[in-house]
Amino acid sequence: MRTFLLALATSATVLATGVTPVAASEYRYCLQGEEFAGTGDCGFTSYQQCQATASGRLAYCAANPDFVIVPTIRVRSHHR
């Protein structure tokens, strides 16, 4: 029983901590304005999608501050 509870607690911790980075990495743009608190509504994958939602409202689109661009490593070939 103790092993089961430990496994359950570990699973809950992993699931709870793994949600935010994945969500942030998918949505590059946030809708911001007076009606949005904090970073705004960061549910847009493209700038055009965000702009279409902001149209006709007192809102604007900005880059998601939680969005992380993973740098790519280039392998340089050495010519002799």
- 20-73 pLDDT, tens per residue? 555 556 899 999 999 888 889 999 999 999 999 999 999 999 999 888 777 778
- 2-25 pLDDT, tens per residue? 564 445 454 544 344 444 555 556
Residues in the chain: 80
Contact indicator for 29, 50 with CB cutoff of 8 Å:
yes
- d(C-alpha 20, C-alpha 24), whole Å: 6
